[in-house]
Structure 1
């Protein structure tokens, strides 16, 4: 017979296992993040320093958005609870014991029956109820019970009947009641609480769990692989075209924000007077573009339109609620632009692809398209420029000379607004000297950052030994598995982006297009962590190599391709390179190279492709398992036949 014990002892073991399953992986994750997180330096201009402090304040942990510090405290509290439960388990007495007559008698388990009888005789003389001397606080009943326990243990080892009970049931008195502990608190199985427990169980199993699973399932189905709602993707699909401009793309973003962030945009209902005033200000500054707002279908999309253009126009917002809404919209803009980019690439539209990429820089720098690129620098306004051209660095030099108080800010920003310099770019095929139809081609390019105020870095002459070292490093990178050259000495830096609501590292796209057809030839490659030129520290290799792989066209010919490097952080820093991809026929290869090519491409005769090639009269490779063996067998058979013929003639 079994009795169930709900004293909570085993519940502590269950709680320990549950806490360990959660705390161990979370602790390891926090430790790895702390260990691998690099120390990132940022722009030291006054605007960026103040902005980083604003970001730190905005990212402070809250109840709805706990930060890393709060998670660390929660993990610490979890380990404290784990330690308390572990202490309770280690100090609590276990109620589950195994009957051991040797332990009760205090004798070794290797003792013989004669030694057991002799030892029991001594114990009986000492602890017999008639002769025992009671200890302080001990009663006669306790002394008698202890002697009975000693007698049972003795008989379990010497008496046949009692020993049989002990061996069969584990106790000299025969079958005993078994006490089983359950890892449940007593109140959970109390009859008085059965209605509440069953109600809670039904609520969790029948309500909460289906709701969580359904929300996850339908939530994942409602989003595309680009991370936007299906409704948003439908809007973008209808709006985007080959003639899309930045203004029409911002209009699409405003429509998409309505379905992506409906809760954020509903604040317009409580801030209607402030929204209306801001909208009038935006319309007045936009000029002819203001007519686009009338094309928006709802009030929420007009609020998104107003907040996005208020950011591009750098209109300060006085309301904390409006600043919060604008921040949430801007942080979601890269995801929306990623969806637009994927649709543009799906059609292969080169101009639209570049327009979408440029919008990343415009939003990061809070700069209206068409305005001077010099407005990215701190303390530079349209009044300061006084009609300077869009990219007139001479104006910056003049400001540095005439206004020394701005020089520190400008120079610090210039060291974090990098202009990409393409050191080299070329097409390569591993193991081949020519590009043949369908071959896998590697576009390898070497880039570095230089200051926007410099004209470019001077290339240094390398001797033969240095050239050999460079070639060896290039070949090792070409055949390697990574797309980015390893550079342990590189130190990441935050870019100059005082208007973007988060810290940001500069990144670039490499877009390969055909200007004749205005089509994207190869999907763009996104890269970051480009080193700054530093001839003193790295005199030979102050650049970084990247590579992207694609398949050569099946048609033979010469393709003049246009490489465009577009920044996702700064405006007006596009770099262009023209490359020629010559796809030649296999006949241009040497005889040995063709043989190797044929040997690689011909299927084996034992494969399905080989059987199909034989039926078409094509070439196949002999099977490595049967080809040579079958030839030997046929030769052996022929020899046997000739031998038999000669023996017959004899």
Structure 2
């Protein structure tokens, strides 16, 4: 085999080949390792708090373990090995002696100058023949020369002489670089010769067989079946099937907690002897707790599977913050919560095709409970540091009406402090410090619009535009600045910005029109500001808060527009230095297709945060879908301008209105267009949420719309907005 091919006997080219192959793998892997993480949990800041819960060391250990699982340890090791191998190949390239092929040069062989004439070459050749001709020259024994060496040297001299004097041979030399004409081309294989020698070839075959027949199929199969085994929510398909069977129309938060215990992932966490170790102790403590309802206790007792029964008991122990008085059980208690959250997110996805509001809200509220370690039926005040169930019950009994979290935080500071008399000043300060950093999103305005249009037509692409501010619970009213009416407007992109018009990219130019007619540049940047990580001291994983927005039918309670999830805002919500709220108006947009019928559709808009309890927002909105002919009438009317007074058209108009030719024509202010009789006149009012009302702009300000219209219909906002809850 080696006689048929040319191999790299000196090892000159083999290091180049191996360096290239290693670089093709190592360089892309390096980019993957060094690339900045896009995970929300890796890029967000944290809520500033020095609160340390009980067993904080176990919780932190669980967090570190999960972070290690997310690290690219194997890839980092592969990169280190790759660069080590590449460095060794570079070393071999440097120290290996290079074999430089010598070019055939007739001038060098004869030892004549390149500027020598043919006559001088003839003369010099004759002198060389007297010295080097085989009949004259003798082999030099000191150089181990033989007669063959003498003959070969003379043949080369003769070729060189003819290449410089004979026209045909000279042409061969000039064209092919050799007086004998075109030479055969030899392409070698950049493998060392020892690899293909008789005794080693089977080792090479075995190496390629293991690499291509075992390692490569195993790696690809493991990757493929690993991705196929998980859903898009990163739970096992078997777990998703179990969750589907747990779904029911009137499911409660407690039922959702029980449903998350069916995940197959828990069999890996509680495997072997841990599947039922300490289960009786956990179950006894949970059943004696007042955090569970009788229905929850009955459901726990009815489970036969030991793994699921222990899992559900651990989940309730986590939610009720029960001390299990056992190190291993405490580890398992904090370990099941992050897995339960993944399963709950999968359950929320399963509920969407059914279109029912109650199961979806139950899933979202269960997410809040798991992250904050608060039972479904408990007070939302427990999500603040240092508060206990006994204190929360005492605060709830102090009011005749239900003491919600927002109601408690809206109390005067002195009254609130009096209710928290069981807390020391330091503990109370810790709790209020965390409350002041909770990103409570308060809706200031919500309306529907179609980009570039003034009315919503059937089948058009509608945007639900939400203008909101982050106002932490307990913020004094005097510290909340009024909303700038200009911030409540939504600006259409330029007509030439097609990507922005179709929603693929943010607008290139974002200008706002001031009341004086001038423009200012909008500083909003879509999706550029991420809120802090959720303050969840008992949750053994970092979690970035998410806000879900969806529309439900006001009459039937079914989901009309599925949820849109937001994880970042277009403006800063907290000052980076002080940590205080900026009260900037942020914009959230949800795009969907309008109904095909002409009608005013009332909806209930839900805004739910998955990380904090008791901060949900609910607003009534009306989508007024109008006849396309109305839009055509509005556009055609806008194209007709008032004629000049001293023009022929102006004089004719004056005559039609009763004026005389040549008489002064009184300029009339353009009348505001009225809607047809069948149009819904209630589509214009602007709604604000209770406690955060925003005054409507004056009529003059309304005329100054984003699209420079002169009438009420000329506004960048489609005339379909939220109805006032107070009315």
Q: CA offsets, 1:444-478, max 9 Å, x none?
A: 0022222222266645265xxxx568747576798
Shift in CA distance, 560/231, structure 1 to aligned 2, threshold 3 Å: same
SS of the residue corresponding to residue 285 of structure 2 reads helix
Alignment of 1:22 with 2:22, yes or no, is: no
Take 1:356 and 1:429, find their aligned partners in 2: how far apart are those partners? 32
- The partner residue of 1:309 within 299, 304, 316 is 316
Q: Which residue does 1:452 correspond to in 2?
A: 473
- Which residue of the other structure, out of 338, 341, 348, is the alignment partner of 1:341? 348
**Aligned equivalents of 1:261 and 1:483: distance in 2?**
43
Change in CA separation of 1:412 and 1:84 when aligned onto 2, cut-off 3 Å:
farther
Question: Could you say which residue in structure 1 is the equivalent of 2:464?
Answer: 443
Distance 1:403 1:168, change over 3 A: same
SS at match of 2:482: coil
Q: C-alpha displacement at 1:558, in angstroms?
A: 2.1
Tell me the residue number matched to 1:561: 603
Residue 333 of structure 1, CA deviation? 3.4
Q: 1:93 to 1:104 in 2, by over 3 A?
A: farther
Structure 1 residue 353 displacement after superposition: 0.8
State the Cα distance separating 1:424 from its structure 2 match: 1.5
- Whole-Å Cα distance in 2 between the matches of residues 115 and 316 of structure 1? 108
Q: Which moved more, 1:167-176 or 1:341-350?
A: 167-176
> How big is each residue's C-alpha offset from its partner over 1:98-157, in whole Å with a ceiling of 9 and x where there is no partner?
5423596477777665566677789899999999999xxx95227999877764543332
Q: 1:101 aligns with which of 86, 99, 105?
A: 105
Question: Partner residue of 1:353?
Answer: 360
In 1, Cα distance between equivalents of 2:585 and 2:107: 78
Please tell me whether the aligned partners of residues 104 and 150 of structure 1 are also in contact (alpha carbons under 8 angstroms). Answer: no
1:203 CA displacement: 4.5
> What is the root-mean-square deviation in Å for CA atoms of aligned residues?
4.6
Cα distance in structure 2, aligned partners of 1:537 and 1:274: 44
Moved more, 351-360 or 118-127: 118-127
More displaced, 354-363 or 191-200?
Answer: 191-200
Deviations 1:481-532 (A, max 9, x none): 4479516984642221112222222221112111311101101110022443
Cα deviation digits, residues 255-304 of structure 1 (max 9, x gap) = 1x22x45432314x246433442233233334621222344453332233
1:228 matched to 2:228: no
Determine which structure has the larger helix proportion and give its number.
1
SS of 2:467 mapped into structure 1 = strand
Question: Could you tell me which of 152, 157, 161 is aligned with 1:158?
Answer: 161
User: Taking structure 1 as reference, are residues 440 and 101 closer, same or farther at Cα in structure 2, changes over 3 Å only?
Assistant: same
2:281 aligned counterpart, secondary structure: helix
Q: Number of matched residues?
A: 583
Q: Is the 8 A contact 1:440 1:550 kept in 2?
A: yes
- For the pair 1:486 / 2:525, whether they are aligned, the reply is yes
1:140 to 140, 143, 148: 143
Q: Does the 8 Å CA contact 1:377/1:413 hold for their aligned counterparts?
A: yes
Q: Could you tell me how far apart the structure 1 residues matched to 2:212 and 2:558 are?
A: 54
Q: Confirm or deny: 8 A CA contact 1:427 1:444 kept in the other structure.
A: yes
1:550-604 alpha-carbon deviations (Å, 9 max, x no partner):
11212332222111111111111101111111222334445364899xxxxxxxx
- Work out the CA distance in 1 between the residues paired with 2:611 and 2:369: 8
Cα pair distance change 1:560/1:491, threshold 3 Å: closer
Change (3 A) 1:196 1:73: closer
CA distance in 1, matches of 2:486, 2:70: 53
Q: Is the 8 A contact 1:447 1:543 kept in 2?
A: yes
Q: Which residue of 1 is the match for residue 372 of structure 2? A: 365
Q: Which runs of 5+ in 2 are unaligned?
A: 397-403, 508-523, 639-727
1:525-604 residue pairs with structure 2 within 5 A? 525-530=564-569, 531-532=572-573, 542-591=584-633, 593=635
Q: Which moved more, 1:348-357 or 1:154-163?
A: 154-163
Say whether the 8 Å CA contact 1:418–1:449 is kept in structure 2.
Answer: yes
Match of 1:277 among 260, 278, 281: 281
CA distance 1:379–1:186, change in 2 (3 Å): farther
Within-5 A mapping of 1:232-271? 232-255=239-262, 257-258=263-264, 260-267=265-272, 269-270=273-274
Higher mean C-alpha displacement, 579-588 vs 189-198: 189-198
Could you tell me which residue of structure 2 aligns to residue 46 of structure 1?
A: 50
- More divergent stretch after superposition (114-123 vs 21-30): 114-123
Residue-by-residue CA offset, 1:594-635 (whole Å, 9 max, x unaligned) = 899xxxxxxxxxxxxxxxxxxxxxxxxxxxxxxxxxxxxxxx
Judged with a 3 Å threshold, the aligned counterparts in structure 2 of structure 1 residues 89 and 246 are, in CA distance, closer, same or farther, namely same
Normalised TM-score (structure 2):
0.68
Structure 1 residue 71 displacement after superposition: 5.1
- How far apart, CA to CA, are the structure 1 residues paired with 2:115 and 2:332? 81
Question: SS of the residue aligned with 1:236?
Answer: helix
8 Å CA contact 2:533–2:544 kept in 1: the answer is: yes
Residues 276 and 307, structure 2, Cα contact 8 Å, conserved in 1: no
For the pair 1:429 / 2:470, whether they are aligned, the reply is: no
1:509-524 maps to which residues of 2 (within 5 A)?
509-524=548-563
CA distance in 2, matches of 1:514, 1:300: 40
**Matching residue of 1:611:** none
Distance 2:127 2:429 in 1: 98
Q: Which runs of 5+ in 1 are unaligned?
A: 597-650
TM-score if structure 1 supplies the norm length? 0.75
